[in-house]
Structure 1
Amino acid sequence: MSDRILVLYGSYRFDRMGIRLADYLVRGLAARGNDVELIDARAVGLPMLDRMYKEYPKGEAPSALETLAEKIRMADAFVFVTGEYNWGPQPGLKNLTDHFLEEWFWRPAAIASYSAGRAGGARANAVWHGMLSEMGMVVISSTLTVGPIAATLDAEGMPTGSAGEALDKSFHNLAEDLAWWAEAAKSQRARRAPPY
Protein backbone atom coordinates (compact mmCIF):
# COMPACT_ATOMS: atom_id res chain seq x y z
CA MET A 1 0.00 0.00 0.00
CA SER A 2 1.35 3.42 -0.95
CA ASP A 3 1.92 6.05 1.72
CA ARG A 4 1.61 9.79 1.15
CA ILE A 5 4.90 11.20 2.50
CA LEU A 6 6.01 14.82 2.74
CA VAL A 7 9.76 15.48 2.80
CA LEU A 8 10.25 18.88 4.43
CA TYR A 9 13.45 20.87 3.86
CA GLY A 10 14.35 24.25 5.29
CA SER A 11 17.58 25.83 4.08
CA TYR A 12 17.38 29.32 2.60
CA ARG A 13 21.08 29.50 1.72
CA PHE A 14 22.18 30.40 -1.80
CA ASP A 15 24.39 27.32 -2.24
CA ARG A 16 22.29 24.70 -0.47
CA MET A 17 23.95 21.34 0.13
CA GLY A 18 21.06 19.75 2.02
CA ILE A 19 18.86 19.72 -1.06
CA ARG A 20 21.01 16.77 -2.12
CA LEU A 21 19.73 14.79 0.85
CA ALA A 22 16.14 15.94 0.30
CA ASP A 23 16.31 14.82 -3.35
CA TYR A 24 17.88 11.50 -2.34
CA LEU A 25 15.05 10.85 0.13
CA VAL A 26 12.30 11.81 -2.32
CA ARG A 27 13.77 9.51 -4.95
CA GLY A 28 14.33 6.64 -2.51
CA LEU A 29 10.87 6.82 -0.96
CA ALA A 30 9.21 7.08 -4.38
CA ALA A 31 11.16 4.02 -5.58
CA ARG A 32 9.49 2.10 -2.74
CA GLY A 33 6.09 2.95 -4.24
CA ASN A 34 5.21 5.92 -2.06
CA ASP A 35 3.52 9.14 -3.15
CA VAL A 36 6.23 11.61 -2.11
CA GLU A 37 6.38 15.40 -2.30
CA LEU A 38 9.20 17.76 -1.40
CA ILE A 39 8.08 20.75 0.66
CA ASP A 40 10.85 23.34 0.34
CA ALA A 41 10.45 26.08 2.95
CA ARG A 42 12.28 28.59 0.75
CA ALA A 43 9.93 27.88 -2.18
CA VAL A 44 6.82 28.05 0.03
CA GLY A 45 8.08 31.39 1.35
CA LEU A 46 6.08 31.76 4.55
CA PRO A 47 6.74 34.94 6.54
CA MET A 48 8.22 34.77 10.02
CA LEU A 49 5.54 33.38 12.27
CA ASP A 50 3.07 36.04 13.35
CA ARG A 51 -0.19 34.09 13.26
CA MET A 52 -0.57 30.32 13.07
CA TYR A 53 -2.82 28.78 10.43
CA LYS A 54 -5.42 27.91 13.07
CA GLU A 55 -5.57 31.54 14.24
CA TYR A 56 -7.06 32.77 10.96
CA PRO A 57 -10.84 32.77 10.59
CA LYS A 58 -11.94 29.85 8.41
CA GLY A 59 -11.27 30.63 4.75
CA GLU A 60 -9.11 33.71 5.47
CA ALA A 61 -5.64 32.18 5.77
CA PRO A 62 -3.14 33.16 3.04
CA SER A 63 -3.27 30.71 0.13
CA ALA A 64 0.23 29.31 0.84
CA LEU A 65 -0.87 28.38 4.36
CA GLU A 66 -4.16 26.89 3.18
CA THR A 67 -2.46 24.78 0.51
CA LEU A 68 0.24 23.51 2.86
CA ALA A 69 -2.25 22.78 5.65
CA GLU A 70 -4.20 20.50 3.30
CA LYS A 71 -1.02 18.70 2.20
CA ILE A 72 -0.03 18.12 5.82
CA ARG A 73 -3.49 16.84 6.76
CA MET A 74 -3.47 14.39 3.82
CA ALA A 75 0.00 12.97 4.57
CA ASP A 76 0.55 9.57 6.15
CA ALA A 77 4.11 10.38 7.29
CA PHE A 78 6.77 13.07 7.27
CA VAL A 79 10.54 13.26 6.86
CA PHE A 80 12.26 16.40 8.16
CA VAL A 81 15.58 17.21 6.49
CA THR A 82 17.63 19.56 8.63
CA GLY A 83 21.03 21.13 8.62
CA GLU A 84 22.72 22.19 11.82
CA TYR A 85 23.20 25.86 12.60
CA ASN A 86 25.16 26.56 15.78
CA TRP A 87 24.17 23.21 17.34
CA GLY A 88 20.53 23.81 16.50
CA PRO A 89 17.91 23.45 13.78
CA GLN A 90 17.59 25.63 10.71
CA PRO A 91 15.28 28.59 11.28
CA GLY A 92 13.57 28.19 7.87
CA LEU A 93 12.35 24.68 8.61
CA LYS A 94 11.41 25.54 12.19
CA ASN A 95 9.43 28.56 11.01
CA LEU A 96 7.54 26.48 8.44
CA THR A 97 6.57 23.81 10.97
CA ASP A 98 5.52 26.31 13.62
CA HIS A 99 2.76 27.72 11.42
CA PHE A 100 0.79 24.52 12.07
CA LEU A 101 -0.04 22.30 15.01
CA GLU A 102 -3.10 20.02 14.89
CA GLU A 103 -2.42 19.34 11.22
CA TRP A 104 0.65 17.29 12.25
CA PHE A 105 -1.07 15.11 14.86
CA TRP A 106 -1.19 11.29 14.89
CA ARG A 107 1.35 10.54 12.14
CA PRO A 108 4.97 9.35 12.23
CA ALA A 109 7.95 11.54 11.46
CA ALA A 110 11.55 10.72 10.57
CA ILE A 111 14.55 13.02 10.85
CA ALA A 112 17.45 13.20 8.40
CA SER A 113 20.21 15.66 9.25
CA TYR A 114 23.38 16.73 7.50
CA SER A 115 26.43 18.93 7.87
CA ALA A 116 29.68 19.73 6.15
CA GLY A 117 31.54 17.85 8.90
CA ARG A 118 31.58 14.31 10.25
CA ALA A 119 28.90 14.90 12.92
CA GLY A 120 26.24 14.97 10.20
CA GLY A 121 23.99 17.43 12.00
CA ALA A 122 23.50 15.05 14.96
CA ARG A 123 22.87 17.87 17.44
CA ALA A 124 20.09 19.42 15.31
CA ASN A 125 18.74 15.92 14.74
CA ALA A 126 18.43 15.37 18.50
CA VAL A 127 16.72 18.75 19.02
CA TRP A 128 14.07 17.91 16.40
CA HIS A 129 13.02 14.77 18.29
CA GLY A 130 11.58 16.76 21.18
CA MET A 131 10.04 19.44 18.98
CA LEU A 132 8.25 17.02 16.66
CA SER A 133 6.98 14.97 19.58
CA GLU A 134 5.57 18.13 21.16
CA MET A 135 3.85 18.85 17.84
CA GLY A 136 1.91 15.59 18.08
CA MET A 137 3.97 13.29 15.86
CA VAL A 138 5.44 9.88 16.66
CA VAL A 139 9.16 10.30 15.98
CA ILE A 140 10.63 7.03 14.73
CA SER A 141 13.87 5.76 16.21
CA SER A 142 15.68 5.36 12.87
CA THR A 143 17.39 8.58 11.82
CA LEU A 144 19.96 9.62 9.25
CA THR A 145 23.01 11.76 10.02
CA VAL A 146 24.86 12.57 6.82
CA GLY A 147 28.28 14.14 6.90
CA PRO A 148 30.31 15.30 5.30
CA ILE A 149 27.43 15.74 2.89
CA ALA A 150 29.63 16.69 -0.09
CA ALA A 151 31.47 13.36 0.25
CA THR A 152 28.23 11.37 0.59
CA LEU A 153 25.96 12.74 -2.14
CA ASP A 154 26.83 14.37 -5.44
CA ALA A 155 25.10 17.48 -6.82
CA GLU A 156 22.20 15.36 -8.12
CA GLY A 157 21.72 13.66 -4.75
CA MET A 158 23.30 10.37 -5.84
CA PRO A 159 25.37 8.41 -3.28
CA THR A 160 29.15 8.46 -3.77
CA GLY A 161 31.93 6.40 -2.25
CA SER A 162 31.83 4.47 0.99
CA ALA A 163 29.83 7.21 2.74
CA GLY A 164 27.14 6.91 0.07
CA GLU A 165 27.06 3.14 0.51
CA ALA A 166 26.59 3.57 4.25
CA LEU A 167 23.76 6.04 3.63
CA ASP A 168 21.96 3.54 1.37
CA LYS A 169 22.09 0.94 4.15
CA SER A 170 20.82 3.38 6.77
CA PHE A 171 18.08 4.65 4.45
CA HIS A 172 16.63 1.15 4.15
CA ASN A 173 16.09 0.98 7.93
CA LEU A 174 14.58 4.46 8.10
CA ALA A 175 12.18 3.72 5.23
CA GLU A 176 11.09 0.40 6.73
CA ASP A 177 10.58 1.96 10.16
CA LEU A 178 8.59 4.86 8.71
CA ALA A 179 6.40 2.51 6.64
CA TRP A 180 5.66 0.35 9.69
CA TRP A 181 4.58 3.33 11.79
CA ALA A 182 2.56 4.86 8.94
CA GLU A 183 0.65 1.60 8.59
CA ALA A 184 0.15 1.34 12.35
CA ALA A 185 -1.14 4.92 12.57
CA LYS A 186 -3.52 4.45 9.62
CA SER A 187 -4.88 1.22 11.12
CA GLN A 188 -5.42 2.79 14.53
CA ARG A 189 -7.13 5.89 13.09
CA ALA A 190 -9.48 3.59 11.12
CA ARG A 191 -10.25 1.63 14.29
CA ARG A 192 -10.62 4.54 16.66
CA ALA A 193 -10.77 8.30 16.15
CA PRO A 194 -7.93 10.26 17.76
CA PRO A 195 -8.92 11.42 21.27
CA TYR A 196 -8.55 15.11 20.37
Structure 2
Amino acid sequence: MSNRILVFYGSYRSDRAGIRLANYVVGHLRQQGDDAELIDAKAINLPIIDRMYKEYSKGQAPQALEQLAQKIKAADGFIFVAGEYNWGVQPGLKNLTDHFLEEWFWRPAAIVSYSAGRVSGARAATAWHGTLSEMGMVVISSTIAVGPIGQTLSADSLPTGDGGRALDQSFPRFADDLTWWVEASKAQRQRKQPPY
Protein backbone atom coordinates (compact mmCIF):
# COMPACT_ATOMS: atom_id res chain seq x y z
CA MET A 1 0.00 0.00 0.00
CA SER A 2 1.38 3.44 -0.91
CA ASN A 3 1.93 6.17 1.63
CA ARG A 4 -0.32 9.24 1.53
CA ILE A 5 1.96 12.30 1.57
CA LEU A 6 0.74 15.89 1.45
CA VAL A 7 3.20 18.45 0.04
CA PHE A 8 2.47 21.98 1.27
CA TYR A 9 3.54 25.08 -0.63
CA GLY A 10 2.81 28.64 0.43
CA SER A 11 3.92 31.42 -1.91
CA TYR A 12 1.25 33.90 -3.03
CA ARG A 13 3.55 35.80 -5.41
CA SER A 14 2.71 36.27 -9.08
CA ASP A 15 6.00 34.81 -10.31
CA ARG A 16 6.37 31.82 -8.00
CA ALA A 17 9.70 30.08 -8.55
CA GLY A 18 9.20 27.74 -5.58
CA ILE A 19 6.31 25.97 -7.30
CA ARG A 20 9.01 24.31 -9.41
CA LEU A 21 10.38 22.65 -6.30
CA ALA A 22 6.93 21.68 -5.01
CA ASN A 23 6.13 20.01 -8.34
CA TYR A 24 9.53 18.29 -8.37
CA VAL A 25 8.88 16.85 -4.90
CA VAL A 26 5.38 15.62 -5.77
CA GLY A 27 6.61 14.08 -9.03
CA HIS A 28 9.48 12.22 -7.39
CA LEU A 29 7.30 10.93 -4.57
CA ARG A 30 4.86 9.57 -7.12
CA GLN A 31 7.71 7.92 -9.04
CA GLN A 32 8.63 5.98 -5.92
CA GLY A 33 5.02 4.85 -5.49
CA ASP A 34 3.67 7.32 -2.94
CA ASP A 35 0.21 8.84 -3.17
CA ALA A 36 1.43 12.46 -3.13
CA GLU A 37 -0.73 15.56 -3.43
CA LEU A 38 0.26 19.21 -3.70
CA ILE A 39 -1.56 21.48 -1.26
CA ASP A 40 -1.10 25.01 -2.61
CA ALA A 41 -1.96 27.67 -0.03
CA LYS A 42 -2.63 30.26 -2.75
CA ALA A 43 -5.10 27.97 -4.54
CA ILE A 44 -6.95 27.14 -1.31
CA ASN A 45 -6.79 30.80 -0.24
CA LEU A 46 -7.83 30.51 3.39
CA PRO A 47 -8.50 33.87 5.06
CA ILE A 48 -6.09 35.26 7.64
CA ILE A 49 -6.79 33.07 10.63
CA ASP A 50 -9.70 34.11 12.79
CA ARG A 51 -10.82 30.69 14.00
CA MET A 52 -8.96 27.42 13.87
CA TYR A 53 -10.76 24.43 12.35
CA LYS A 54 -11.36 22.96 15.80
CA GLU A 55 -13.09 26.15 16.96
CA TYR A 56 -16.03 25.66 14.58
CA SER A 57 -19.03 23.59 15.63
CA LYS A 58 -19.19 20.23 13.85
CA GLY A 59 -20.35 20.79 10.28
CA GLN A 60 -19.99 24.59 10.47
CA ALA A 61 -16.42 25.07 9.17
CA PRO A 62 -16.05 26.64 5.70
CA GLN A 63 -15.92 23.97 3.01
CA ALA A 64 -12.27 24.58 2.06
CA LEU A 65 -11.24 24.26 5.70
CA GLU A 66 -13.28 21.08 6.20
CA GLN A 67 -11.89 19.44 3.07
CA LEU A 68 -8.31 20.27 3.99
CA ALA A 69 -8.82 19.04 7.57
CA GLN A 70 -9.98 15.68 6.26
CA LYS A 71 -6.97 15.43 3.92
CA ILE A 72 -4.56 16.23 6.76
CA LYS A 73 -6.18 13.66 9.07
CA ALA A 74 -5.96 10.98 6.35
CA ALA A 75 -2.31 11.66 5.49
CA ASP A 76 0.60 9.49 6.59
CA GLY A 77 3.17 12.29 6.41
CA PHE A 78 3.85 15.82 5.28
CA ILE A 79 6.46 17.78 3.35
CA PHE A 80 6.64 21.56 3.71
CA VAL A 81 8.23 23.35 0.73
CA ALA A 82 9.35 26.48 2.51
CA GLY A 83 10.55 29.65 0.89
CA GLU A 84 12.49 32.20 2.89
CA TYR A 85 11.19 35.75 3.27
CA ASN A 86 13.54 38.15 5.07
CA TRP A 87 15.15 35.38 7.15
CA GLY A 88 11.73 34.02 8.04
CA VAL A 89 8.79 31.91 6.91
CA GLN A 90 6.27 32.62 4.17
CA PRO A 91 3.11 34.10 5.65
CA GLY A 92 0.80 32.18 3.29
CA LEU A 93 2.13 28.79 4.35
CA LYS A 94 2.21 29.75 8.02
CA ASN A 95 -1.39 30.99 7.88
CA LEU A 96 -2.59 27.75 6.29
CA THR A 97 -0.70 25.65 8.83
CA ASP A 98 -2.03 27.60 11.82
CA HIS A 99 -5.66 26.81 10.96
CA PHE A 100 -5.08 23.28 12.30
CA LEU A 101 -3.55 21.62 15.33
CA GLU A 102 -4.72 18.15 16.40
CA GLU A 103 -5.08 17.21 12.74
CA TRP A 104 -1.26 17.21 12.44
CA PHE A 105 -0.52 15.03 15.48
CA TRP A 106 1.47 11.78 15.41
CA ARG A 107 2.78 12.00 11.85
CA PRO A 108 6.22 12.87 10.49
CA ALA A 109 7.02 16.03 8.59
CA ALA A 110 9.95 16.96 6.39
CA ILE A 111 11.21 20.36 5.25
CA VAL A 112 12.41 21.31 1.79
CA SER A 113 13.58 24.91 1.69
CA TYR A 114 14.52 27.26 -1.13
CA SER A 115 15.44 30.84 -1.89
CA ALA A 116 16.59 33.00 -4.76
CA GLY A 117 20.06 33.15 -3.21
CA ARG A 118 22.74 30.73 -2.14
CA VAL A 119 21.51 30.38 1.47
CA SER A 120 18.75 28.16 0.04
CA GLY A 121 16.09 29.01 2.60
CA ALA A 122 18.04 27.47 5.48
CA ARG A 123 16.87 30.12 7.95
CA ALA A 124 13.22 29.44 7.07
CA ALA A 125 13.83 25.70 7.50
CA THR A 126 15.23 26.33 10.97
CA ALA A 127 12.15 28.36 11.92
CA TRP A 128 9.78 25.72 10.52
CA HIS A 129 11.44 22.94 12.50
CA GLY A 130 10.34 24.39 15.84
CA THR A 131 6.90 25.37 14.56
CA LEU A 132 6.07 21.94 13.17
CA SER A 133 7.38 20.20 16.28
CA GLU A 134 5.18 22.41 18.46
CA MET A 135 2.20 21.43 16.30
CA GLY A 136 2.65 17.74 17.12
CA MET A 137 4.66 16.49 14.16
CA VAL A 138 7.92 14.59 14.31
CA VAL A 139 10.28 16.55 12.06
CA ILE A 140 12.80 14.28 10.38
CA SER A 141 16.47 15.20 10.43
CA SER A 142 16.96 15.00 6.66
CA THR A 143 16.34 18.25 4.82
CA ILE A 144 16.82 19.58 1.32
CA ALA A 145 17.88 23.16 0.67
CA VAL A 146 17.73 24.56 -2.87
CA GLY A 147 19.23 27.80 -4.05
CA PRO A 148 19.37 29.70 -6.17
CA ILE A 149 16.04 28.14 -7.14
CA GLY A 150 16.09 29.69 -10.62
CA GLN A 151 19.39 28.00 -11.45
CA THR A 152 18.42 24.61 -9.98
CA LEU A 153 15.07 23.84 -11.60
CA SER A 154 13.63 24.89 -14.94
CA ALA A 155 10.13 26.34 -15.30
CA ASP A 156 9.03 22.74 -15.98
CA SER A 157 10.53 21.55 -12.67
CA LEU A 158 13.43 19.78 -14.39
CA PRO A 159 16.87 19.82 -12.71
CA THR A 160 19.45 22.11 -14.31
CA GLY A 161 23.14 22.65 -13.71
CA ASP A 162 25.13 21.64 -10.65
CA GLY A 163 22.28 22.53 -8.29
CA GLY A 164 19.88 20.29 -10.17
CA ARG A 165 22.34 17.40 -10.07
CA ALA A 166 22.81 17.91 -6.33
CA LEU A 167 19.04 17.89 -5.82
CA ASP A 168 18.66 14.66 -7.79
CA GLN A 169 21.43 13.06 -5.72
CA SER A 170 20.04 14.13 -2.34
CA PHE A 171 16.35 13.45 -2.89
CA PRO A 172 16.40 9.62 -2.63
CA ARG A 173 17.99 9.62 0.83
CA PHE A 174 15.61 12.38 1.97
CA ALA A 175 12.61 10.38 0.71
CA ASP A 176 13.89 7.17 2.30
CA ASP A 177 14.22 8.93 5.66
CA LEU A 178 10.66 10.24 5.46
CA THR A 179 9.36 6.82 4.38
CA TRP A 180 11.04 5.16 7.39
CA TRP A 181 9.33 7.56 9.78
CA VAL A 182 5.99 7.31 7.96
CA GLU A 183 6.05 3.53 8.24
CA ALA A 184 7.15 3.64 11.89
CA SER A 185 4.37 6.08 12.70
CA LYS A 186 1.73 4.01 10.88
CA ALA A 187 2.82 0.85 12.69
CA GLN A 188 2.73 2.53 16.09
CA ARG A 189 -0.73 4.04 15.49
CA GLN A 190 -2.01 0.57 14.56
CA ARG A 191 -0.39 -0.97 17.64
CA LYS A 192 -1.45 1.61 20.20
CA GLN A 193 -3.80 4.57 20.41
CA PRO A 194 -2.06 7.95 20.81
CA PRO A 195 -2.03 9.10 24.45
CA TYR A 196 -4.22 12.16 23.68
Same fold by TM-score greater than 0.5: yes
Secondary structure of 2:8's counterpart equals strand
State the 4+ residue runs in structure 1 displaced beyond 3 angstroms. none
Correspondence 1:118-157 to 2 at 5 A: 118-157=118-157
Partner Cα separation in structure 1 for residue 138 and residue 158 of structure 2: 29
Aligned to 1:21: 21
Secondary structure of 1:143's counterpart equals strand
Secondary structure of 1:187's counterpart equals helix
Correspondence 1:64-75 to 2 at 5 A: 64-75=64-75
- Cα-Cα RMSD: 0.5
Mind listing any 5+ residue stretches in structure 2 that lack a counterpart? none
Partner Cα separation in structure 1 for residue 62 and residue 21 of structure 2: 29
Provide TM-score, normalisation by structure 2: 0.99
How many pairs are equivalent?
Answer: 196
Aligned to 1:105: 105
How far off its partner does 1:169 sit?
1.3
How far off its partner does 1:145 sit?
0.6
Partner Cα separation in structure 1 for residue 193 and residue 83 of structure 2: 35
Secondary structure of 1:142's counterpart equals strand
How far off its partner does 1:84 sit?
0.4
Alignment deviations for residues 120-157 of structure 1 (CA, whole Å, 9 cap, x no partner)? 00000100000000000000000011000011000011
Q: Percent identity?
A: 70
Aligned to 1:4: 4
Partner Cα separation in structure 2 for residue 99 and residue 156 of structure 1: 31
Mind listing any 5+ residue stretches in structure 1 that lack a counterpart? none
How far off its partner does 1:72 sit?
0.1
Correspondence 1:49-88 to 2 at 5 A: 49-88=49-88
Partner Cα separation in structure 2 for residue 186 and residue 68 of structure 1: 20
Letter in 2 for 1:129: H
How far off its partner does 1:161 sit?
1.3
Alignment deviations for residues 75-97 of structure 1 (CA, whole Å, 9 cap, x no partner)? 00000001100100000000000
